[in-house]
Amino acid sequence: MYYYQLRAFHAVATYGGFSKAARQLNISQPAISDQVRKLEGWFNIRLFERKRRSVVPTELGLRLFELTKRMFELEKEAVELLSESEALRTGSLRMAADAPLHSVNLIGAFREAYPGISIKLSIGNADDVLSWLFDFNADVAVLADVPDDPRLESMPLRTDPLVAFVPKTHPWAKRRAITLKELCSEPLVMREHGSKTRLTFEKELEAKQLSIEISIEAEGRAAAREAVAAGIGVGVVSKADFGFDSRLTSITLSDCKGSMTENLVCLKERAKLRTVAAFWDIATKHRKPHAPEA
């Protein structure tokens, strides 16, 4: 009875405005505004605080949004069940990751197997990625630090050692390896507090009772890379995350046992969705769960 009104409300809450919601539903803005007003009028409630340039759900609106998320996810699952005969020829998959590097290879392999499935990739920090999963804004995620949560299904994809990296003009640039003690003699470019890379590195330092001089804290991998390239200090990253940069070179940390593991994650309740299950199968075939020798 209230389907179209709830759909309109859900779209406005999802996209943060009536105009954006109308474009997504391919209907006019007055039509979607009318549907929301009807819902509010029937129950004598207010679902949004309407501001000049945005709309914000009220407390009741937020509670209803949690229900409509589940409602429309169930609708999506029902449609997928009914369209199984299409054998994944069409559809979409929303992916979130804490870094693009570990995701793009999987996306490439998945697209090769299922070219009709479109993929949206969102990049954020660990908190962002988990929030997108729990809010049903992502179907699968690639994440270094998976919390112990019974709602989550996870699988290790690959494990890589930590390495140092310096500009190619640095005196260490031609060395194959250095020790942690040597590394600590230089000013360091460190990731922000809460970074999994930083936490892993700090545990190594604590175990060896080493102290460091931090030249700068950089928010995110890209900022850390640019700071090192600018000569501000030496950086630390997982071997896989170093990638390639013509300005920089990586150096093995000979006595560092710390490593980083990237995991594929989804909500257990969504693990059997056709697109999620198919992506999981592709990832299983391409994963490299053991750390390569440094």
Domain positions in the chain: 3-82, 86-157+261-286, 159-259
Q: Give me the CATH code for the 3-82 domain, please.
A: 1.10.10.10
CA separation for the pair 123, 146 (Å, rounded): 16
156, HSE (Cβ side, Cα atoms, 13 Å) = 10
Which one is the CATH code of 86-157+261-286: 3.40.50.300, 3.40.50.970, 3.30.360.10, 3.40.190.10? Answer: 3.40.190.10
Angle CA(181)–CA(182)–CA(183) in degrees, nearest 5? 90
**206 vs 50: which has the higher pLDDT:** 206
According to the model, what pLDDT value does residue 193 have?
83
| Nearest CA-CA partner of 92 in 115, 119, 114, 128 | 119
Is 0.85 topped by the overall pTM? no
CA dihedral 203, 101, 291, 156 (to 10 degrees): 90
What kind of architecture, by CATH, is found in domain 159-259? 3-Layer(aba) Sandwich (3.40)
pLDDT single digits (tens) 171-224: 999 999 999 999 999 999 998 887 888 999 999 999 999 999 999 999 888 899
Domains 3-82 and 86-157+261-286 alike in fold: no
Instruction: Enter the DSSP assignment of 40.
Output: H
Please tell me the distance from the alpha carbon of residue 215 to that of residue 268, in angstroms, as a whole number.
Answer: 42
Compute the distance between CA of residue 246 and CA of residue 266 in angstroms, rounded to an integer. Answer: 35
pLDDT of residue 294: 45
Q: Distance between CA 76 and CA 86 in Å, rounded?
A: 15
Residues 203 and 210: their CA atoms lie apart, in Å, by 10
Instruction: Report CA 55 to chain centroid distance, whole Å.
Output: 26
User: Cβ(96)–Cβ(124) under 8 Å?
Assistant: yes
Residue 139: is its pLDDT beyond 50? yes
With residue 80 as reference, give the H or E element that holds it: helix 59-82
